[in-house]
Structures are given as C-alpha cells and as structure tokens.
Amino acid sequence: MKKRLYNIISSPNNPSKASKIFDIIIIVLIVINVLTAILDTFKIPQWLMSVSSYIELISVIIFTVEYLMRVYVSDIERPNMPPVLARLHYMASFMAVIDLLAILPFYIPFIITIDLRVLRILRIFRLLRILKLNRYTSALNSLGEVFRRKKHQLITSVGIVVLLMIISSVLMYNVENEAQPEVFDNALTSLWWTVETLTTVGYGDIVPVTAVGKLLSTVISLLGIGLVAVPTGIISAGFSEIIAEKREHDNDNEKVYCPYCGKKIK
C-alpha cells in the first residue's frame, strides 16, 4: 500500500499510469495557481475574486495532503534509518522546503496577522521537480556543476562587489548630498543609485550633477563593466573546463593497438 503510494508520488524512471496522471494533476494545479496569482493583480469583479479564493483553498488542501503523503512515504528512500529521522531528513531537502513554502503562507495568517499569501507564487518552482524532461535536466545539471565548481570564485567576486557598493554609497552621499539634498538624502538612496549604475540599468531617477560625482560615477560604471566581465569569464572557463575534461576522459578510455605487431600503444 505505502510502496504503491510511493511509486505514484515520486514518479520514478519508468512511471506507471497512475503516477503520470498524478503528475499531470499537480502540474495543472500549479499552472492554475500561477495564473490565479497573476489574475489577482488585475481589477477583477467580485465573483471572480471568490472563484480565485476557492481555487486557493482547494489548492492548499491538495498541496497539504500531497506534502504530508510525501513526508509519510519518504522513509522508503532511506531504509537504513529509523523512519522519523528519514522523514526529517527528507523535510530538510531543497525540494521539500519549496513544497512547504508553497503552502505555509496560507496558514500563517491564522497564527500571526502578516499576509504572506503573495509567496504562493513560489509554487511555480515546484514545476522544476515534476518537469523531469531528460535532456533539460542534464543541461540544468551541467549549469549547476559550473556554479558548484566556481562557487568560491563567484562568491569572492560578489564579495568584492558588495565592498565596492558600500564604499561607493558612502562616498557618493558625501559628494552629492550638498548639491542635491533631496535626491541623495542618505546612504541607502545612494546605495540604490550604486546598484543601478554598477549593473548598468540606469533608470535615471537619481543622477549625479556635481563634477566629482560624475567622475566617481564614471569609475563606478567602468567597474560595472568588470562586474559583467569577471563572472562571465569564470562561468565561461567553467563550461570549457567541463567539456575539456569530458574529451580527455573519452580519449583516455580509447585503447590503441599497433595493427602490425598487436602491442598496446596507449
């Protein structure tokens, strides 16, 4: 019974018909939820709003039942552990946390009065679990592999960027505040300006007007070019590295024999 439930829910490599139907229901439900979340941002008539609320209610019930079932059967995957520990292990996994985050916002207002229902948009992430399209999963893995390998280098460059942002914010406030006290009114505002400039978004809601401010802005914009160049270089080298290793590995596995004397050369 529990084994069968597990097979339906966890959709293994060769899924049964029941498993496929279950997946499709969940996918349709997620898509409906995302569309509802988008629809709720428009001015909609009262009756549509009630429909939206009912959909939300039903969805949360289904997702909650699904979540509990997943936790319940999760001990099958770790047969060597005591069931409670196995389930706690599962609950701490990335995908289970996403699943929980997708239903929790509904229950929070019953406890404290903060409305976090907007977080249900995170349900869209659940698609990643169910959409196990083989080719794309492999692509996603090699993307993840690059990030994992270059983690330290990427974090280091982000760290340097954060240091630069703080310095730039405080300097820029001190340079521009006198000329535009309303625009550069504190370090947070000029941090916002720094973000806009370093990422080259440049909305134009905050623009330096003093000569020193423009000079500083020039330096920051040029560093912004580096902000793109460095991670791109790291990621690009990461992809090349993986490809090169694969090719080397393929070459190493080829054994070469001399066709005349039969001895192994490689």
Please report whether residue 45 would count as binding a copy of itself according to CB under 8 A. no
Query: Residues 123, 136, 70, CA angle at the centre, nearest 5°?
Result: 40
Please report whether residue 260 would count as binding a copy of itself according to CB under 8 A. yes
Please report whether residue 55 would count as binding a copy of itself according to CB under 8 A. no
- In the complex with a copy of itself, which residue's Cβ is closer, 78 or 149? 149
| Residue 238 to residue 147: CA distance in whole angstroms | 8
| Residue 256 to residue 262: CA distance in whole angstroms | 10
Please report whether residue 77 would count as binding a copy of itself according to CB under 8 A. no
CA distance from start to end of the chain: 54
Contact 217, 208 (CB under 8 A): yes
Closest CA to 117 of 74, 159, 57, 62: 57
Please report whether residue 81 would count as binding a copy of itself according to CB under 8 A. no
Q: How far is the CB of 77 from a copy of itself (least distance, A)?
A: 26
Among positions 93-152, residues that touch a copy of itself (CB under 8 A) are: 118, 121-122, 124-125, 127-128, 135-136, 138-140, 142-143, 146, 152
Q: What is the DSSP letter of 43?
A: -
Question: Among the candidate windows 48-56, 61-69, 86-94, 159-167, which touches a copy of itself by CB under 8 A?
Answer: 159-167
